[in-house]
Amino acid sequence: MDELPIGRRVAYWRGRRKMSQQVFADRLGKSKSWVDKVERGVRRLDKFSVLYEIADILELDVQLLLGKDPERRTDALNCIDQVEVQEIRAALERYDSISAYFDAAPYPPPLTDLRKAVTHAWLTYQYGRYGMLTRALPKLLRDAQAADAGHEGEQSRAAAHLLGQVYQIASSVLRKLGECDLSWLAADRSIAVAQRADDPLLAGIATTRVCNALVAMGRPRPALELNVTIANRLAPGGSNDATPERLSVYGMLLLQGAMAAARVGDSATVDDLINGAWDAADLLGGDQNHYWTSFGPTNVELHRAAAAVELGDGGRAVQVHEQRIQEPAFNGLLPERRAHHLLDLARGYAQIGNLATAGEMLLRGDRLAPSEIRCRPIAHEVMADILRRTRGAPPSPVAELAEHMGVGV
């Protein structure tokens, strides 16, 4: 089948999946006519983002669509490339809302469909599938922007809320992958949209995305100040109720403020903010996921360990893990949170010279959420440090993971 045109290969695999042109078009967000033209070779299929989306829908390796033998692909090869970065950048550079101010907006996507897509994107992020998410982001951004520009009346706030969430998703995954300038842009947009959505809690959690991007760009002090300022505005008490949603957003503002304080070496502020977050988590009563925060007692302890690593106290991070984090509760968290913590632990063990256990933490994280280990620049730094300081050859599983990550001594 290698000699077939790409459109014929799409038709072949669509048939193998027993999917009609109409069903395939609906899942792709295209018209049946578009699919028919692609399959007949009348329309070229030359955008990598569309190819990847087709491959995801047909549940096959994109290499098969390109007429090549599928390789043993690692997640590192599937994180994000410059074509995808440029497509996300182009989507972030759209200004549908201002265009709609002067001209009639196009038919916006139905909010029911968009809400499902946003929920799917959040879960894709929280399961650590960053490659799949970055390929879907350009279309999701365009759809959310069109909905925000096109809906009016009561639906306007709902559309703005969804767009604000999409910007937050984009900011979070772009920061993970080292695209800090785009992460800051998306986070900044999310704050403005949250204000139009008239949701202070959405604006509060958007603030944490801005501050995370600032810390990643080497600006932890303004990040600390902003987190604390907004946390004080949203704190339960007085006219502010103590709903689970408010406690979760307030707690995350304190935790992200603690991480910024750790970056500037202010251990006293770290302790104050984490203790405040612990009080909020205690009132919440358990680990929950309001506003996609994964906030609760266990997440507070994960941040306590992460802050210790940022302060250079790997021994303290290991102690927190062994004495304060309950295994059943930890195992109940979503993969991104657990793998992120294992990466922090790897850094902590490396700080105290336990390179073998540091490597094991990376391996455990890779089994949970490969993208969290193979795609993040900080994970590459940890692996390079382990390889450089290990006497003799590293254990074969660690060496194999390093090869998949593209990390050498």
User: Is there a contact between 171 and 209 (Cβ–Cβ < 8 Å)?
Assistant: yes
The pTM (predicted TM-score) of the whole model is 0.80
Q: pLDDT at residue 291 above 80?
A: yes
User: Is there a contact between 334 and 288 (Cβ–Cβ < 8 Å)?
Assistant: no
**Quick one: pLDDT at residue 3?**
54
DSSP string covering 356-399, please?
Answer: HHHHHHHHHHHHH-HHHHHS-HHHHHHHHHHHHHSSSSPPHHHH
**To the nearest whole number, what is the mean pLDDT of the chain?**
89
Closest CA relative to residue 144, chosen from 199, 91, 80: 91
CA dihedral 396, 401, 407, 409 (to 10 degrees): -20
Domains and CATH numbers, the chain: 1-71 (1.10.260.40), 80-198 (no CATH), 216-333 (no CATH)
Single-letter amino acid, residue 218: G
Cα Rg, the chain, nearest whole Å = 23
Q: How far apart are CA 319 and CA 303, in angstroms?
A: 13
**Quick one: pLDDT at residue 61?**
64
pLDDT tens per residue, range 108-122: 889 999 999 999 999
Residue 236 has what DSSP assignment?
Answer: S
Range of 41-55, 172-186, 339-353, 385-399 with top mean pLDDT: 339-353
Q: How far apart are CA 351 and CA 70, in angstroms?
A: 39
28 contacts: CB under 8 Å, gap ≥ 6: 35, 53, 54, 57
**Quick one: pLDDT at residue 16?**
77
Q: pLDDT at residue 194 above 50?
A: yes
Average pLDDT over residues 280-292: 95
Region label for 133, one of left (φ > 0), alpha (ψ between -120 and 50) or beta (otherwise): alpha
**Any idea which of 150-154, 175-179, 395-399 has the lowest mean pLDDT?**
150-154
Average pLDDT over residues 188-209: 95
**Quick one: pLDDT at residue 70?**
47
DSSP string covering 240-285, please?
Answer: B---HHHHHHHHHHHHHHHHHHHHTT-HHHHHHHHHHHHHHHHHHT
User: Is there a contact between 191 and 206 (Cβ–Cβ < 8 Å)?
Assistant: yes
Closest CA relative to residue 405, chosen from 59, 127, 386: 386
On the 0-12 / 13-18 / 19+ scale of CB atoms within 10 A, 210 is buried
Q: pLDDT at residue 368 above 90?
A: yes
**Quick one: pLDDT at residue 97?**
53
CB hemisphere CA count around 227 (13 angstroms): 32
pLDDT tens per residue, range 21-61: 998 998 888 899 999 999 988 888 877 668 878 877 876 66
